Structure 1
Amino acid sequence: MKINLLIMGLIALSLLSCNNKTKTKEKPHIAKKIEIRIATTDGSHDVFAYLTRRLLTEKGYHISIIKVKDGIEAIKDNQADIYLSQWVPINSNREVDSLVDLGNIYDDAFYGLVVPKYMKINSISELPTIKEKLKGEIYSIKSRKKVYSYLETTIKAYNLPYKPAELTVEMFEDFYMKRNDFCYTGMYPHPMLNTNFLKFLDDPKSVGARFNIVKYGTTSWCDSFPEIKKQIASIKLNTKDYNMLVEEMGKNNWEYKKSIDSWYQRVKKNFK
């Protein structure tokens, strides 16, 4: 079974703008006529988009998942209506011009340095002792600018004798199959970090920022569809439910639809 590292990343959801000037509740019998466009990036938090599609499809809405480069910009440009996976630093200003904050879909996400569980080190401060084993390189994905920037900041804060190096899916799979030692920048929540293979290193200097994963929608769409806005605002995953979902994904070879369908039957009482 191939393990795809690029399950990372951020989800963008969007809802169609409506020209109605009055705020009216949608009637159940017209739900199927309403299309909801969910923007998503190619990343680990696709699970949030697919979960939301599962929940709203059951209520009769037509859901489109649209892949974009930037979720917030996709909403502003009317490519999508809602975005479910904006990583916002805890205690920072959550306001985004012209968008509505629909609440957190996940609390307390974070970045960190990750190694295989079979490696004996447990802290970032121990990395200098194994520089030769790791060939002086810590891996990241340069296109994910915030994660890559975190790695550069960590190297500087701990004065690590390492340089950043680009990580590919093929390299990660090779490390995994051969059980080689390696270190890379990880994000949580992420499906790979719920396996028995990887662990986060302790960060005694608290370099890694912590985030809430926040849902946003356009003001015009939220004003036009207050009932759907309310439903989306109520969608939230806790760590227990997220871990259960990742378990299902592992059982189903990372097939999103099949995994979410089987997982939903176990937890649907939590989502009204």
Structure 2
Amino acid sequence: MKMALVLIVAMALLVGGCQKQEDRAAQKKIDLIYVEWSSEVASTNVVKAVLQEKLGYEVQLTPVSAAAMWQGIASGDADAMVAAWLPTTHGHYLERLSGQLEDLGPNLDGTRIGLVVPAYVDINSITEIKQHAERFDGRIIGIDPGAGIMSKTEEAMEVYGLDNLRLMEGSGATMTATLADAINRDQWMVVTGWTPHWKFAQWDLKYLEDPQNVYGGAEQIHTIVRQGLEEDMPEVYRFLDNFSWTTDDLQQVMVWNREDGATPYASAKRWIEENPAKVEAWLR
């Protein structure tokens, strides 16, 4: 009896989820989900701008943690994301949920994650952090706890024996604010870092070498969609499948987003207006 009730509830949730997806498709509504990293804010708003300005869809953006982002696609509560860092940063999410969503492949090549310091910091490898823990104030400044780079940093701290430092949780904004304050004071600071990010244009920074390869090599950002999107919204699926750009493209939008009075959507609209050939290629 109990098992039958569980099956009934599961079927009801599945049917309800499918109905919501059909309703969104009929009303030309799209739900995009993302993590609030500066790169993902930029890319997700560009996708929103194309969907709204070129294809006439109404787009809802939902910022969440990395874990919730992946689960939102797997459950069908959201339609797509363009913020999956693979194979290292979000690899454990893809491994766990691979049968419940669809990976459309990379939309950007040449990304990287690791530990980052100002260029004036006189070390070059993660292996050297431990002996200079006091100069780093016993801290590694991180971001939101659900981010893949945080779990990788926890692993790095174990591998490199950094038991005399603490990994500080926060957000991308607090991480860059703390970094800015340290640089203004010419102090040592180590932060979780990733490329592309506007901070590399703002300051002279460097990645610390990772001889144990905890953080992996070059990564890609992938587009992930819910199952059934191709059948429900074929033109949306085609655009998302075609969507790809360069780190220069992405960093341009991120720089605009930091201008006084800028909004992510206005910057995204500006970018698609100035790059009509690329947008046209995505919509073929």
Same fold (TM over 0.5): yes
User: Which residue is 1:17 aligned to?
Assistant: 21
In the alignment, the residues of structure 1 paired with residue 133 and residue 28 of structure 2 have an alpha-carbon distance, to the nearest angstrom, of 56
Asked if 1:52 corresponds to 2:31, the answer is no
Q: Note if 1:219 corresponds to 2:227.
A: yes
Please give the alpha-carbon distance, in whole angstroms, between the structure 1 residues aligned to 2:243 and 2:64: 22
Q: Say whether 1:61 aligns with 2:57.
A: yes
Matched, 1:37 2:31: yes
Residue 185 of structure 1 corresponds to which residue in structure 2? 192
> 1:156, 1:41 → 2: CA distance?
26
SS in 1 for 2:98: coil
Query: Offset at 1:135?
Result: 2.9
In the alignment, which of 73, 76, 80 is matched to residue 74 of structure 2? 76
> For residues 70-120 of structure 1, what are the alpha-carbon distances to aligned partners after superposition, in whole Å with 9 as ceiling and x for unaligned?
122112333221122122316x77772232222212224332001123323
Q: 1:145-164 maps to which residues of 2 (within 5 A)?
A: 146-160=148-162, 162-164=164-166
Counterpart residue number, 2:6: none
1:202 aligns with 2:206: no
Contact 1:138 1:162 in 2 (8 A): no
Q: 1: CA distance between counterparts of 2:144 and 2:238?
A: 37
More helix by proportion, 1 or 2?
2
Checking the alignment, whether the CA contact within 8 Å between 2:117 and 2:207 is kept in structure 1 is: yes
Q: Kindly provide the amino acid, as one letter, of the partner of residue 189 in structure 1.
A: P
1:176 Cα shift?
4.4
Q: d(CA) in 2 for partners of 1:257 and 1:142?
A: 23
3-state SS, counterpart of residue 181 of structure 1: coil
Structure 2 contact 100–226 (Cα < 8 Å) conserved? yes
Provide closer, same or farther for how the CA distance between residues 177 and 268 of structure 1 changes in structure 2, counting only shifts above 3 A.
Answer: farther
Residues 139 and 167 in structure 2, CA contact (< 8 A), matched pair in contact too: yes
1:225, 1:174 → 2: CA distance? 47
Give the C-alpha shift of residue 145 in structure 1. Answer: 5.1
Matches within 5 A, 1:82-231: 82-89=80-87, 96-128=98-130, 130-141=132-143, 143-144=145-146, 146-160=148-162, 162-168=164-170, 169=174, 171-210=178-217, 211-231=219-239
Task: Confirm or deny: 8 A CA contact 2:141 2:192 kept in the other structure.
Answer: yes
Give, in whole Å, the separation in 1 of the partners of 2:213 and 2:261: 35
The Cα shift of 1:242 comes to 1.8
Check 1:181–1:219 CA distance in 2 against 1; reply closer, same or farther (3 A cut).
same
Amino acid at match of 2:268: I
- Partner of residue 263 from structure 1, selected from 254, 271, 277: 271
Q: Which runs of 5+ in 1 are unaligned?
A: 1-15, 20-25
In structure 2, list runs of 5 or more residues that go unmatched.
Answer: 1-19
Distance in 2 between residues matched to 1:84 and 1:221, nearest whole Å:
14
Relative to the length of structure 1, the TM-score reads 0.76
Measured in 1, the distance between the counterparts of 2:49 and 2:77 equals 21
1:271 partner SS: helix
**TM-score scaled by length of structure 2:** 0.73
